[in-house]
Structure 1
Amino acid sequence: MLKPILLLLLLFISSSTSQSNPTSLLEPKRIESLTIQSNEHLTTTCYYDVYITTSCSSPTYTRDQISISFGDAYGYQVYAPRIDDPRSGAFERCSTDTYRLSGPCMYQICYLYLYRTGSDGWKPESVTVYQPSWQPAYFYYNTYVPYGVWFGFNYCNNVNVVKAAAAAAA
């Protein structure tokens, strides 16, 4: 509970001098499509530990298909088309699931989107990505992921928001 409050306070302070509305920066947004980058040409691989906490107000479990994509402001991206596994108990209410994903080495992660298909519904509380040489990237959802659209955050144009989110996750 303290992290979301701290995040709100830090985002308000860091955004108070910007032209954007601080409240709108906190809310995940829908995007109809996301360009998936090919990383086959890259020779260096980094590993990212992704912690996804499912809200206690989410359904007991979900059989929905969940995908994730995150990246930096320079076009480096990690994409995992299916991170769900209903047999493993992934995304059960009040639980945290951990994934180790690989992809190109990148700068500070500044965007993260989730994609859901299925009929059960799912409400993530938060997603934290730990990356080599950078602060963790923290994204606070606490809302249902809509069906069939990429849903999440893009802070790439607001460096202060990225710094505040990293500080809140620490």
Structure 2
Amino acid sequence: MCRRVGCMAFLLLTFAQLHLLQAKEEECSYTLEVKTSCNILDSGTRDRVLVRFGDKSFYDANKTEVLERHLSQSMNEGNAKPFRRCKTDKFNLSGPCVKKQLCYVYFKVEGTDNWRVNDAVIHHEYGNDIFHLNKRLPENAWYGLEYCNENLQMIASFADKKDAHKHVSPKVKPRRKKARA
């Protein structure tokens, strides 16, 4: 009897470890394309840029979110710095696998360069999601688009969830592309 209990405990422990390993392996690849605006002469930045995106509302505890703390290694040719005026930069990111199409993206600029992002396109397993921002990003605050619910919402800036200030822009429809089979 004691042997059977020991064997059962060993099997349960092994199964739990295998399940944890599988959960850790469930990372997916994403390609983020960010176009810096051409409208203003100094719309680029040399500041540190962060991004977060997900498949449910930012305020939903069950969301799947990818957070990149520093977008620094662009896939563009050469060693040019990312986020220059009129340039599109590509980044390879990895993170938890989303369960459906993305519905929000937020950027944060740590600095004072007045970076103006035009568009962000995120390629993933469920397609390509396009977010048209065309805004100068505020300093040291998260800023982006969320359309997880009925209305498209522009999040002005926030330090964390409880400090968020929402600005709802009704009747604004984001452009989305479906994945090609």
TM-score interval, normalised by the smaller of the two chains: 0.5 to 0.7
Residue pair 1:54, 1:91 contacting (<8 A) in 2 also = yes
Q: Is 2:126 the counterpart of 1:129? A: no
Kept in 2: contact 1:61–1:89 (CA 8 A) = no
Find out whether 1:80 has 2:68 as its counterpart: yes
Match of 1:120 in 2: 113
Q: Conserved in 1, the CA contact under 8 Å of 2:129 and 2:177? A: no
Q: Which amino acid aligns with 1:81?
A: R
Aligned pair count?
128
Q: How far 1:166 sits from its partner (Å)? A: 1.4
In proportion to residue count, which structure has more strand? 2
Match of 2:144?
A: 152
CA distance in structure 1 between the aligned counterparts of 2:83 and 2:55, rounded to whole angstroms: 26
Whether the aligned pair in 2 keeps the contact of 1:51 and 1:98 (CA below 8 Å) is yes
CA deviation vs aligned residue, 1:52-72 (integer Å, no higher than 9, x gap)? 000012416421111000001
Mapped to 2, the partners of 1:159 and 1:137 lie a distance apart of 17
- Given that 1:47 and 1:101 are in contact with CA atoms closer than 8 Å, whether structure 2 keeps it comes out as yes
Corresponding residue number in structure 2 for 1:165: 175
Aligned CA RMSD, in angstroms, stands at: 2.9
Asked if the contact 1:62/1:121 (under 8 Å) is kept, the reply is yes
Q: What is the TM-score normalised by the length of structure 2?
A: 0.62
Q: Taking structure 1 as the reference length, what is the TM-score of the superposition?
A: 0.66
Output one character per residue of 1:89-116: Cα deviation in whole Å (capped at 9) or x when no partner: 2100000000010011112111100001
Q: Which has the larger radius of gyration?
A: 2
Aligned partners of 1:50 and 1:129 also within 8 Å: yes
Farther off after superposition, 151-160 or 72-81: 151-160
The CA deviation at 1:169 is 9.9
The residue number in structure 1 matching 2:20 is none
Which structure exhibits the higher relative contact order, with contacts defined as CA atoms closer than 8 Å and separated by 6 or more residues?
A: 1
In structure 1, C-alpha distance between the alignment counterparts of 2:179 and 2:38, rounded to whole Å = 19
Q: Tell me the CA shift for residue 164 of structure 1.
A: 5.4
Deviation, 1:153, is 1.0
Structure 2: segments with no counterpart, 5+ residues: 1-22, 57-61, 153-170
Residue 56 (structure 1) aligned with residue 38 (structure 2): yes
Which residue of structure 1 aligns with residue 157 of structure 2? Answer: none
- Alignment of 1:96 onto 2:88: yes
Higher helix share: 1
- AA in 2 matched with 1:119: T
CA distance 1:135–1:164, shift in 2 (3 Å): farther
